[in-house]
Structure 1
C-alpha cells in the first residue's frame, strides 16, 4: 500500500483504486454526506466503499495533487477558477442534504455554525483537490465538513487560494497579486457584493476559530495537534490575521 500525505491524520493509504483511512467519530455523518452527493450526481468527491476493521474504505479521487508552495498547474488562473466553480457546485448540491437529515443527530469534527446554509467542506484548499491539467476536477478529505454559512467556507478557501499568507514557503506574489486572485475566485463562485464586504472579517474570524480549535485539541492530548503547536503552526495563522487586518481596506476595495 502507498502512504498518502496531507490531511489531519496519519495512517492514510492508497490500495489500488481505494483509499483506506482511520474511522473517526464523525465518519458515519461524512459517509451519509458523500453518498448523498453521489446520488445527486456530484461525483467529484470520494465514494464510500465500506468499512474494514476500524478503517473506512473510499474511492481514490483521480488527478494530480499539490501542496504549498503553489507552483505549476495549481498556481494557474484556470485552477483557481475551476476550484471556485467546484466549491459553488458542492455547496449548491449540499443544500438538499440539510433537508434530509436531523442535524441534532449528526456528529461533525468542527462545530456547526448558524445559519446552516450549506454543508461546508471546511478545508477546500489547494492540497485537498485533484487536477487534470490545469483544471480542478475533484476534492477529497471531507473530515472537516460541517453545516455553516457559504461565506464561512468561501473565506477560508479565498485565504488559501489567493493566498493571503505570510510564511515564506506558503506565500505567493505581492498583495496586489493576491487581491487579484481573491477577486477572480469570488467572481468565479459568484460571491455577492455584500458578502465581499464581509470577506476579510470572515477570514479573520475563521483563522481565529482554527487557532482556538488547534489549541483545544492539543490540550486534550492529540499528538498531531500538539506537534503542530510545538512547530508554531498557530503562530503562522496569527501572523496572517495581522496581515489581513493591516490590509483589510485595500483587499475589500480590490475584490468589490
Structure 2
C-alpha cells in the first residue's frame, strides 16, 4: 500500500482504492457520497466498503496541491472549474437534505437554513486536478447541512485567498478580490448573496477558531497541536484583514 500525503494520518492507496480511518460519521458520509453519484455527480469518491476501523473508497486520479498556491492550482481555470464543481455538488445534495430527519451525526454543527450539504473544507488541497481543470472533490469528513453561503464564504477565503500568512498568501488585495469575483461568477452567486459574503467569511472563521479551541479542550490532540502551532492566530489575523478591507470587497461586489 502507498501512504498518501496530507489530511489525517493513516490514509493509504491500494490499487484504485483509498483506505482511511472510519469514525461515527462514516456511514452517513457513505450515504451522502452514494446519493451524489445517484444524482449524476461523479466528481467525488465512491464508497466501496466499511468496517469498524476503516473505510474504503474509490481513488480519484489526478493531482492534489496545497499552499502555497503555485502552478496549475493557482490558475484562473482551476479557480473557475472549482467553483463550478462546488455548485454542482451543492445542487446534487439538495434532495439528500430533504431526506434527513435531524438525528444524524455530523462532525460540524448543522446550520440553518439547511439548504444544501456543505463540504465544510472546500480548499485547494481537497480538490483533484487534471492539468488546470478541477475534476474531483475529496475528504468529505466535515460535510454538514447548512446554507450555501456558509460553504461559499469559506471557499472564497481559501481560493482568493484572503490570507495574510506569507506561506498561504497569493497576490495583492485587488488580485484576491478579482479571484473572489471570478469564483462567485462561475458558481452563479446572486447579487443579494454577494453583499453578505464578507460578513459570513468573518463569522465562518470565528466559528472555526471556537471549534478548534472546544475540541482541544475535549482532549482532541490534533486540534491541540494546531493551537500549539499557532493556526488559530493565523485565522484571527485573517479575520482582521477581511474586516479591515470589507468595504473595498463590497464595493467590488456591488
Q: Scaled by the length of structure 1, what TM-score is found?
A: 0.97
What is the rounded CA distance, in whole Å, between the counterparts of 2:100 and 2:153 in structure 1? Answer: 26
Tell me, yes or no, if the aligned pair for 1:186 and 1:255 is still in contact at 8 Å.
no
Distance 2:240 2:93 in 1: 33
Mapped to 1, the partners of 2:80 and 2:116 lie a distance apart of 20
**Count of residue pairs brought into register by the alignment:** 254
Contact 1:112–1:146 (CA under 8 A) maintained in structure 2: yes
Structure 1 position 157, deviation (Å)? 0.1
Aligned twin of 1:94: 93
Q: Indicate if the aligned counterparts of 1:83 and 1:136 stay in contact, CA closer than 8 A.
A: yes
Q: Indicate conservation of the 8 Å contact 2:22/2:52, yes or no.
A: no
Shift of residue 5, structure 1, vs aligned partner: 2.3
In structure 1, the partner of 2:80 is 81
Contact 1:116 1:149 (C-alpha < 8 Å) held by counterparts: yes
Q: Tell me how far 1:41 sits from its aligned partner.
A: 1.1
Give the equivalent residue in structure 2 for 1:151: 149
In the TM superposition, 1:208-227 aligns within 5 A as 208-227=206-225
List per-residue Cα deviations over 1:185-236 (Å, max 9, x = no partner).
Answer: 0010011111110000000000000000111111111111111100000000
Partner Cα distance (1:6, 1:30) in 2? 20
Please say if residues 182 and 255 of structure 1, whose CA atoms lie closer than 8 Å, have aligned partners that are also in contact.
no
Superposed, 1:112-123 pairs within 5 Å as 112-123=110-121
Match of 1:192 in 2: 190
Aligned residue in 2 for 1:22: 21
**C-alpha separation between the residues in 2 aligned to 1:168 and 1:3?**
29
The CA distance in 2 between the partners of 1:145 and 1:63, in whole Å, is 22
Task: Write the distance in 1 (CA, Å) between the matches of 2:193 and 2:75.
Answer: 25
Could you tell me whether the CA contact under 8 Å between 2:120 and 2:144 is conserved in 1? Answer: yes
Structure 1 stretches of 4+ with a deviation exceeding 6 A read none
After TM superposition, the score normalised by the length of structure 2 is 0.98
Question: How big is the alpha-carbon RMSD for the aligned residues of Structure 1 and Structure 2?
Answer: 0.9
Q: What SS does structure 2 have at the residue aligned with 1:21?
A: strand
Residues of 2 paired with 1:62 and 1:52: CA distance? Answer: 24
For 1:52-63, list aligned pairs within 5 A.
Answer: 52-63=51-62
From 113, 121, 124, give the equivalent of 2:122: 124
Cα contact 1:164–1:171 (8 A) shared by 2: yes
Q: Which ranges in structure 2 are unaligned for 5 or more consecutive residues?
A: none
In the aligned structure 1, how far is the partner of 2:13 from the partner of 2:253? Answer: 39
Q: How far apart, CA to CA, are the structure 2 residues paired with 1:142 and 1:19?
A: 13
Uncovered stretches (5+) of structure 1, i.e. residues with no partner: none
Matched residues in 2 for 1:137 and 1:22: separation?
24
